[in-house]
Amino acid sequence: MQQLILPALLASLWTTCTGAGDWCYQSQFTCDHQCNVPDLWSHANSDCAGKKQSPINVVTRKTLKDERLTPFQFDNYQQIFRGTITNNGHSVQVGVPHLSTITGGGLPTTYKAVQFHLHWGNNGGPGSEHTIDGEQYPMEMHIVHMKHHYTDLKTAMSDPEGVAVLGFFYETSSSANRKYDPIINALRSIKTTNGDTSLLPVSLAQLIPPEQNLTSYYRYKGSLTTPGCTEAVIWTLFENPIPLSMEQLRVFSELKFHDGKPMVGTFRPVQPLNGRQVFRSGAPAILVSSALLVATIATALGLSQPI
Ligand SMILES: [Zn+2]
């Protein structure tokens, strides 16, 4: 009898101590609040222990150039919309009209935007989820897209290529990025969990670097970075970061988790690659200019053949 009771007792203790199912970031764990930190997410969601998890550290010298990774075509990214920004207890999230789409970029089909959210550190300190050669940026934005023919993310996640997330890094700049005013100003109204407020009109295009600076990116297959950690994501990480001033970055740390503690360190640690290959875009612009250069030299040397 005792042999039966002990495991049951331990299981119930574990549930009591960790609040099983109540996942949290490492920054939220205290003796008073013993929640499921990232290393324990797999207890509640076995997918979090999968072999294709995100985020990852990108080791640039091990990336493979893939010329199929052409520039993206962003459609309706200029569309101005009135969104609602929500403190969902883990992040801030903005639902976007499904009219904005991405095509190209080596994606198998067109994907439509669903929502975007952010991951950040403490007062502008390291906070991105993905790292590049070990460098952690102060913040990372995820614009979540699903294949155009799906109507909800849940269905899209049952397709191993159902979701495409565009990841953007931030860097600290000396001057404020005024294009982010609608987002930053709204944060002051949603400091507590479940708080939401309407955004002043914004477009996705105004929140990301200009299109010509989005041709260099990394690509790999991974997962959602929060439970259930579903492995249904084609990841794109753009090299070019978005500038925000330290003051702007710090406003994110004024948000609160549901227990009233500062919402900081909202990132999952990097996960093992498990043999996955990370690709980088082929930078066709450089190839074209090299070809032109060769042609110019050939012409100068009188080597070109009349056609
Ligand atoms: Zn995310």
- Are 9 and 146 members of one domain? no
Residues 147 and 269 in one domain: yes
Do residues 123 and 210 both lie within one domain? yes
Residues 12 and 148 in one domain: no
The pLDDT of residue 20 is above 80: no
Q: Is residue 9 assigned to a domain? A: yes
Q: What is the mean pLDDT of residues 34-49?
A: 93
Q: How far apart are CA 184 and CA 248, in angstroms?
A: 7
What residues are labeled active site? 90
Task: Please check whether residues 204 and 257 belong to one and the same domain.
Answer: yes
Residue 305 lies in a domain: no
Are residues 114 and 23 part of one domain? no
Work out the pLDDT band at 299, boundaries 50, 70, 90. low
Q: Cα angle vertex 184, ends 228, 143, to 5°?
A: 35
Query: Is 302 within the bounds of a domain?
Result: no
Answer yes or no: do 247 and 166 share one domain.
yes
Cα of 294 from ligand 1 centre, angstroms: 44
Q: 193 CA to middle of ligand 1, Å?
A: 17
CA of 198 to the centre of ligand 1 (A): 21
224: nearest Cα among 95, 24, 53, 93:
53
For the segment 212-253, what is each residue's pLDDT rounded down to a tens digit? 999 999 999 999 999 999 999 999 999 999 999 999 999 999
Query: What pLDDT digit, counting tens, does each position of 61-105 carry?
Result: 999 999 999 999 999 999 999 999 999 999 999 999 999 999 999
- Identify the CATH number of the domain in which residue 218 sits: 3.10.200.10
pLDDT at position 301 is 55
Ligand 1 center to residue 90 CA distance, Å?
A: 10
Count the domains in the chain.
2
CB-based contacts of 55, cutoff 8 Å, min separation 6: 128, 129, 130, 131, 222, 225, 267, 268, 270, 271
| Helical ranges in 103-208 per DSSP H | 153-156, 181-187, 204-207
Same domain, yes or no, for 222 and 268? yes
38 and 49 part of one domain: no
| Residue 304: inside a domain | no
Do both 224 and 208 map to the same domain?
A: yes
Is residue 301 in a domain? no
pTM here? 0.87
**Do residues 157 and 130 both lie within one domain?**
yes
Alpha helices in 159-217 (DSSP H): 181-187, 204-207
pLDDT at 191: 97
Q: Is the pLDDT of residue 207 over 60?
A: yes
166 and 70 within one domain: yes
Q: What is the pLDDT of residues 97-147, one digit of tens each?
A: 999 999 999 999 999 999 999 999 999 999 999 999 999 999 999 999 999
Range of the domain at 106: 45-295
| Residues with C-beta atoms within 5 A of ion ligand 1 | 142
Residue 25 CA to ligand 1 center (angstroms) comes to: 13
Rounded to the nearest angstrom, the distance between the alpha carbon of 173 and the centre of ligand 1 is 23
